Copies of this chain bind each other. A is one copy, B any other.
């Protein structure tokens, strides 16, 4: 996933004032790539075209955490049942993920900091 902005600094999601929703997707991977990297990029790009998408942050080391932000629960449901995403989700369970937790949360407060 692309995580750099035009200033070559890693980008955090520039979300609007709360309330909005977060989908917190925490994962552990199976061994090997098996097309995972390509699909992850494709799904990140596809999510960004969906109605109600507000941004995402994603990083992976021993575990992966991707947090995507959405206007409302309807937008999340619409993304969940996008047909290409349904195929990717099935492959995730069959091939790529050893385990995951997916949490849907309503963001109530939001603080930001940027060093001058």
> Which residues of A are interface residues toward B (Cβ below 8 A)?
3-4, 9-13, 15, 18, 21-22, 24, 26-28, 30, 57-65, 67, 93, 97-115
Stoichiometry, copies per complex: 2
Q: Which residues of B contact A13 (CB under 8 A)?
A: 26, 101
Are B105 and A63 in contact, CB atoms less than 8 angstroms apart? no
Q: How many angstroms from the CA of A100 to the CA of B18 in the assembled complex?
A: 16
Chain B neighbourhood of A22, CB < 8 A: 22, 24, 103, 105
Kindly name the residue among A4, A28, A30 whose own CB sees the greatest number of chain B CB atoms within 10 A.
A28
Cα distance A73–B112 when bound, in Å?
A: 19
Given contacts A24-B67, A59-B63, contact A103 B110 (CB under 8 A): yes
